Chains A and B, each alone.
Chain A
C-alpha cells in the first residue's frame, strides 16, 4: 500500500463521523429545529459507546450504546425546546455543556483502555483491484452505512411524502399546523434522528478513529458538522462533498505536522477551524446570505389557536 493510498484511506475515516453527524443535523434543521447540542451528543456517543464496548467486549454493543446515548440527549433537548418551547440556541448550548461534562464522568474509568481495530468489510474479488480496491471495497460497515444514509436522507427529503411534510413544517410551522400537519411529533422524531446520528458519529470516533477515549476528544467536530449543514445549503449531496473536503483538510494538516515544515503545529491544528470560517464566508460571498435556510429554523413553536 502506498503512502498516497494510506492518506486516502485516512481521509475516509476522518470524514465519516462528520458526514453522519451532519446528516442527522440536516434532518433536524429541515424540520425547523436548530440543534446546537450536537457536540455534546457526539461526546456522549463517544464515551458511552467506548464504555459499553470495553465492558461487554463487543463493538456492536458499543455502537448500540452510542446511538442510545445520542438519542437520550436528543430526547432531553426535545422536551425542553418542543415541550416547553424554550430558546433553541441556549438550550442546545446547554446540552453541549452538559454532554461534555457527563461524557467525562462516564468515560473517566476507561481512560487508557484500547480497542482492537474494527475489521473492514472486504468485498471479495473487488478489494484486490489495485489502488482503488481498498479505497472503495475494503472499508468498514460504518463507511458504507454513511454513504447509504446520505442516499436515504436525500430520497426521504426529496422523494417521499413524509419528507415533504417535514420540509413544509420547517419552512413555515404556522401554515403547516393550520393544514393539520403534526408539527411537534415530526420535530420530535427529527431531533431523535439527529441525536442518534450524532451518537453514532461519536461511537465511530472512539471505536474506529482513535480506538481509545479521552476527554474532549470530539474537539469541535460537532460544531464543524453544524457548519457543514450551512455550507451544504441544507442538501444531503453537498453534506457528503463538504464532509470529505473537511476530512481531507484535517488529514493533510496532520501529515503536514508530521513532516515538520517549520510551520508551528498550532497553526496547522487551526486549519479545520479557519477552514470552517472561510467556507461560511465564501458561501455568503457567493449568495449574499445563506441560501436554503428553512424558514422556521430556530423559532420556537407555540400553537396559536
Chain B
C-alpha cells in the first residue's frame, strides 16, 4: 500500500477554521502518549497543565503576563511570514531591544529624570529590536544572503552581548557579584494595569499591535502588497511592488515589536537585566504565529493558549517533577501538527493499494 497526495479542488472554509483546533488536540494526544511512556499519568498531567491554571485567579493573570511577549513577537513575525520571509531570530531582536532600552534605564538610574524616561526606554527597545532585525534584512536585500541562517546566528550573538553586559560593565556593584544589573527605578518600570495586579501595560501594547495589524492587513495598500507578495510573488513583481522595500519593512516591524516585547518584559516583569530574560519566547512565537494562522486576532488567541503551556509546564515541574523540557517538546509537536493540518486542508491524502486502479 502507498499513499498519494493530490491538491483539493476547493478549500473548505470550515476545515480551514477547524484545522488549528484539530492540530492542538492531536498535539495534546501525542504529548499525553509521551507522558504515559515516561511512566506518568497523562490525566494528572492534563489537570496540572490545563485545568488548574484555568481555575486559579493568580494563574489566569499569569497567562496574560506570558501571553504578552508571545503575542507582540508573533504579530511582528506574521508580517514576515506573510511575505514569505523567514525571520527566525526574534529571540535576538527581543534581547537587543531589552538591552538598548535598559541602557537608558541604567543611565537615568538614581536621577530625578522625570516622566520622559519610560517612553524613552520603550522607544529605545523598539529601535534596538528593529535595527537588529534589519541586519538580516539588509544582508538579504543588498547581498542576497539567506535570512534564515543570519537571523538565527544573530540570536546567539545577542545572548552573548547580554551576558557580557550583565557580567561586566552593567553588573550591580552592590549585587554580591551576581550577574545582574541594579533594580530599575520606579520611573523606569512599566506599571501594572490594575493596582497590585500582575498584568502590566505590555498587554495593552499587544492589544494595540493586534488592532493596528488588523487594520493594516485589511485596509491598506501595504497590507495588500504583503498578502500578494506572499501568495503570488511573481504577480507582485509585475505589479511593481518592490520586494526589497517590503523585506526591509517587515523585518523592521517584526524586530521592533520583538524589541518592545523584550523591553516590556524587562521593565514590567523582571525589573532588572539578567543573563536570561526569556524562556525562548522568540522561538515559541513562531508556533504562536502559525497556530493563529498569521491572523492578528487568531494570534492573540493562540498566544493565550500557548501561554497556558508555559504556566502548566512550570507547575508540572514543581508538582509532578516533569522537566520543563516537556513544554518545549510539546511546543515543537504543536507546530508540526499545525503545519500538517494546514497542508492537509489544501491537499488530500488517498491510500492506494499497490496494483490497484491508478
Contacts and interface: CB of A to CB of B under 8 A. Distances in A.
A124 interface: no
B352 interface: no
Nearest to A215: B325
Nearest to A226: B149
A118 B246 CA distance: 52
Given A84-B343, A105-B329, A274 B157 contact: yes
Contacts of B323: 104-105, 108
B329 A86 contact: no
Contacts of A103: 325
Contacts of B58: none
A95 interface: yes
Given A83-B349, A93-B286, A273-B153, A267 B339 contact: no
B343 A100 contact: no
A249 interface: no
Interface in A264-278: 264, 266-267, 269-270, 273-274, 276-277
Given A223-B152, A230-B149, A97 B331 contact: yes
A90 B5 contact: no
B305 interface: no
B325 A94 contact: no
A290 B146 contact: yes
A47 B328 CA distance: 16
B339 A105 contact: no
A101 interface: yes
A277 to B, nearest CB: 5
A284 B340 contact: no
Interface string B330-358: 11111110011011100101000000000
Contacts of A230: 146, 149
Interface in A71-112: 76, 80, 83-87, 89-91, 93-105, 108
Contact of A302 (B7, B143, B154): B7
A126 interface: no
Q: Max chain B CB contacts within 10 Å: which of A40, A274, A290, A302?
A: A302
Contact of B325 (A40, A84, A104, A223): A104
A94 B332 contact: yes
B285 to A, nearest CB: 11
Interface in B194-235: none
Contacts of B287: 94, 97
B6 A280 contact: no
Interface in B8-46: 34, 38
A64 interface: no
How extensive is the interface on chain A, given as a class? Answer: 35 or more
A280 B336 CA distance: 29
Contact of B5 (A85, A98, A100, A276): A85
A219 to B, nearest CB: 8
Given A85-B5, A90-B290, A226-B149, A95 B332 contact: yes
B6 A101 contact: no
Interface string A100-135: 111111001000000000000000000000000000
A302 B335 CA distance: 21
A166 to B, nearest CB: 20
Interface in B139-167: 139, 143-146, 148-150, 152-154, 156-157, 160-161, 163-164, 167
Contact of A83 (B5, B152, B324): B5
A97 B335 contact: yes
Given A84-B340, A87-B343, A94-B335, A273 B330 contact: no
A302 B160 CA distance: 42
Given A83-B349, A223-B149, A302 B5 contact: yes
A101 B328 contact: yes
Contacts of B167: 266
A300 interface: yes
A223 B153 contact: yes
A285 interface: yes
B332 A101 contact: yes
B86 interface: yes
Interface in B261-320: 283, 286-287, 290
A277 B153 contact: yes
A300 B7 CA distance: 12
B139 to A, nearest CB: 6
A288 interface: yes
Contact of A276 (B4, B153, B290): B153
Contacts of A86: 336, 339-340, 342-343
B156 to A, nearest CB: 5
Nearest to B348: A302
Given A84-B343, A93-B335, A281-B145, A270 B6 contact: no
Nearest to A264: B164
B342 A277 contact: no
Contact of A97 (B163, B332, B339, B347): B332
A93 B88 contact: yes
Interface of B: 3-7, 34, 38, 86, 88, 139, 143-146, 148-150, 152-154, 156-157, 160-161, 163-164, 167-168, 283, 286-287, 290, 323-336, 339-340, 342-344, 347, 349
Given A101-B332, A230-B149, 11 more contacts: A85-B5, A91-B335, A91-B336, A91-B340, A95-B332, A98-B329, A100-B332, A220-B152, A226-B149, A269-B160, A280-B139
Closest CB pairs A-B (n = 4): A98-B332, A104-B325, A101-B329, A101-B328
